Amino acid sequence: MINQQEMNSITQVDEFAEILAAARRMQQDWLEHGLNFVHLYVEDVEGDWLETWGDDELSNSLFDAIKEFLVSNDDVAVKIRYRLGDKPLFDLAVNLEECLRISREDEKAFAVRDVLADHFDSYDIDLLDLATSLLDKLL
């Protein structure tokens, strides 16, 4: 028991020493290179990372909203689940999220219709109405 605690303490001290050494290297690079030291630690400094900051959180909340809607008792969700049969809702939710990222509003309905047609293995006239209803519920 004591031997295990000593090993845990040694491991924690070693991890702390590595972290401290990395911080010291970063500080030394800052002193040597000034603000340009960022180029040593960040791959895409000149990219659009600042403009796209937080898009992942938005994407996750949209995906979660789609999943919650698909399992709800809403009439549209029930119709979708009925026509989907035994196919997984997760795959449909992933594809629907991609459709909702389309910037042009007039293309979204057709993209959702095509996704529904792929997942339902059928294509009928009512599918565009169902896609439009789904978009109304999700947006």
Q: Would you state the structure tokens that stand for residue 90, as one six-digit string?
A: 């997760």
- DSSP code at position 42: -
Q: How far is the C-alpha of 127 from the C-alpha of 76, rounded, in Å?
A: 11
Q: pLDDT tens string for the chain (139 positions)?
A: 566 666 677 788 888 999 999 999 999 999 998 888 888 877 777 777 666 666 665 557 888 889 999 999 999 999 999 888 888 889 999 999 888 888 888 788 889 998 998 888 766 778 888 888 888 888 7
List CB contacts of 130: < 8 A, sequence separation 6 or more.
76, 79, 80, 113, 116
- Nearest partner of 130 among 114, 115, 118, 113, judged by Cα: 113
